[in-house]
Chains A and B, each alone.
Chain A
Amino acid sequence: MSDYQFDDHARPIFSRGPLLIVKLSLASLTAAGLMIFAQGNQDLDSARDAISVALAPIFWISDLPRRAHDLGKHFSTREELIVQNDALRHEHLRLNARLQRLVVLEEENRRMRAMLHSTKSVHQAVMIGEIQATSLDPYQQRIRINRGKRDGVFDGQALLDAHGIVGQIIEVTPYSSTAVLITDENQGVPVQVNRNGLRTVVHGNGSAVLQLPFLPANSDIQAGDLLVSSGLGGKYPAGYPVAIIETVEHQPGEHFLKIAASPAARLQHGHEVLLVRQGVPAPSTAQLLDPAATPDHIASAQ
């Protein structure tokens, strides 16, 4: 090895030798310091933001194939559109009918909450975000969204889709943000069984199946039960579907049930997610049906 160290045609290795190890120690120490400092610390966010803004063109280019794929969908046939339109019209009618029923229920709920002196509001405003990329690291269930700090996204914000809870934001940069899905190994969502209110926590395990590891063998839970978020822990809003129980197994001698559930949200489908905003009043159901109506108006009409 030592024989070849001299024929380095760029420059002699001796002049680099001691410098290299000094450089390496400096770089490693800085990196290690960064890692320790960055753990649970928000001070480095601006540095992250700067790098991420500089990388925006790279992300944009790497997103092109997906967009080209989406473009293909723009040229769907007229028949397809008519069928789809019909289906959507029917869906709209059905939902509107349910919405009318909801006006009464919502008002009733408001009155009952008033009687109980509870201030929790039923509605939460949402913002629509588009999924830009999914899990860069196949071992982490993550998605990147095209909404960032500029749009009012914040760390810990909950993500929904049309069917249930998707995950939460873990990193925000000015123009985009990263969210972790509920199926990630590090994620747990506090839930309750919709049928009987039984509280527990749903855990992801990196696959498409969720687990409920903490239910004792005599718990009242069965396949097909809907789990809704309980809102405990303050991260996820209460009352949204999280998962549906697939299998409940009890192995003799074990204290806990072995329960598998599938996420209610369609995590692998669709491009849009809803970001739940906090502190922004949302239109009530009555306003959705008739924009001129206000809660007082409805109340006085009764």
Chain B
Amino acid sequence: MNPVAWPSALCALCIALILTALPLPAFLAIGRPALVPLVLTYLCLSTPSRFGILWGFGLGLVLDVTYATVLGQHALVLSLLSYTALKLRPTLLLFPAAQQMIALAPLWAAYQALLLWLDSLVGQSIDPSWRWIPALSTSLFWPLITASFALLDRPQHH
């Protein structure tokens, strides 16, 4: 996992945001992976000198506006997520992508659970029956994210 340069990091975040805001049919939208947190976690793990809690907070505010949730809800959860990623970093870096995927799965479950809890706290209606699907799909997207960044990082042959 090599450090990611500014342009590719910002591009990845923009693409993640676009895919987050993309209208999908209802049955697909239920399983939409949390792409922005995924990319943020990757950036925290690969480039901790640039990406950390502040980025988590800022991106959280952006997600709050995108989802029309209470300002601060996603900011709080993403700050915690980036902190956890930075803390787990030394251990996670030793694993190959497949093991990282399994090790990170509880993190996505916790992410969804925390959002759910905050939803109910601020008075949003909640229907928890299908909320575990994003946790699963987010986990499954991890190897894809690492592969895409590895592809970007490939030495260029001329």
Contacts and interface: CB of A to CB of B under 8 A. Distances in A.
Interface of A: 1, 4-5, 7-8, 10-11, 13, 16, 20-21, 23-24, 27-28, 30-35, 38-39, 44, 47-48, 51-52, 55, 58-59, 61-63, 65-66, 133-140, 142, 170-171, 178, 184-186, 206
Going nearest first, the 8 A-B pairs with the smallest beta carbon separation are A34-B72, A185-B125, A31-B76, A27-B79, A35-B72, A62-B21, A138-B29, A31-B75
Interface centre among B72, B87, B89, B90 (most CB of A within 10 A): B72
Contacts of A62: 18-23
A209 to B, nearest CB: 14
Interface stretch (B4-12, B59-67, B97-105, B142-150): B59-67
A136 B67 contact: yes
A171 B68 contact: yes
Contacts of B125: 139-140, 184-186, 206
15 contacts: A16-B48, A20-B87, A23-B52, A30-B72, A34-B71, A35-B71, A51-B61, A55-B62, A59-B21, A63-B23, A65-B22, A135-B26, A136-B20, A136-B68, A185-B127
B70 A61 contact: no
B150 to A, nearest CB: 17
Contacts of B124: 140, 186
Contacts of B62: 51, 55
Contacts of A10: 3, 47-49
Contact of B23 (A1, A4, A51, A134): A134
A7 B49 CA distance: 15
B91 interface: yes
B40 interface: no
B20 to A, nearest CB: 7
A185 B65 CA distance: 21
Nearest to B49: A10
B71 A4 contact: no
A58 B72 contact: no
A35 B23 contact: no
Interface string B51-95: 011101100111001111111110110011001001101110010
A28 B83 CA distance: 11
Contacts of A51: 61-62, 65
A47 B58 CA distance: 12
A3 to B, nearest CB: 9
A61 to B, nearest CB: 5
Interface of B: 3, 14, 17-23, 26, 29-30, 32, 47-49, 52-54, 56-57, 60-62, 65-73, 75-76, 79-80, 83, 86-87, 89-91, 94, 118, 122-127, 131
Contacts of A1: 90-91
Contacts of A178: 68
Contact of A135 (B3, B29, B57): B29
A160 B15 CA distance: 34
Nearest to B115: A137
Interface centre among A39, A63, A135, A139 (most CB of B within 10 A): A139
A13 B66 contact: no
A13 to B, nearest CB: 7
Contacts of A52: 65
Interface centre among A5, A31, A140 (most CB of B within 10 A): A31
Contacts of B30: 138
A168 B68 CA distance: 14
A38 B21 contact: no
Contacts of A20: 52-53, 83, 86-87
Given A16-B86, A185-B125, A24 B79 contact: yes
A23 B54 contact: yes
Given A31-B75, A48-B71, A135-B29, A5 B53 contact: no
A55 B90 contact: no
Given A38-B72, A44-B71, A51-B65, A58 B21 contact: yes
Nearest to A33: B72
A206 B127 CA distance: 9
Contacts of B86: 16, 20
A171 B65 CA distance: 10
Contacts of A185: 125, 127
Contact of B73 (A11, A35, A61, A133): A35
